[in-house]
Amino acid sequence: MFCEDLRYEIEISVKDGKYKFDVVSLEVAETSKYGNIIGWNTAEIKKGWMHFKSNGEVRDQYKDTMPKIARYINALNKSLNDYIYNQNETAKSNNW
């Protein structure tokens, strides 16, 4: 297992009683040898990104990373959906 700091930006658009949830950007922390964050790099799923070999295959140590990021973003979207449509106690108590 490994751990990285990620930073993301989402955009929520509303139209005709529906919403659209888009990930606008995803960044990976660049750390010093002491573990301090010294900057942020755009996370692009392409050749050359540190998680990928030069042939485009995901490096073995990162094979679980992409699905975990997708599950996290999907859970965030589900939480928003549940809140909007009063499917949880917080939404119900706020009378939305």
Query: For the segment 8-34, what is each residue's pLDDT rounded down to a tens digit?
Result: 899 999 999 889 999 888 887 888 888
**Which residue range is the domain that position 22 belongs to?**
6-93
| 52 in any annotated domain | yes
One-character DSSP codes across 29-71: EEE-TTS-EEEEEE---STTSTTB-TTSPBPGGGTTHHHHHHH
What was the pLDDT predicted at 12? 95
| 1 in any annotated domain | no
pLDDT of 95 > 70? The answer is: no
| 60 in any annotated domain | yes
CA torsion angle 44 48 54 60 (round to 10) = -60
> In angstroms, rounded to a whole number, what is the distance separating the alpha carbons of residues 5 and 88?
29
> In angstroms, rounded to a whole number, what is the distance separating the alpha carbons of residues 46 and 54?
9
Query: For the segment 34-73, what is each residue's pLDDT rounded down to a tens digit?
Result: 888 888 877 655 444 566 777 777 778 777 777 788 888 9
12, β-bridge pairs: 21
Domains in the chain: how many in total? 1
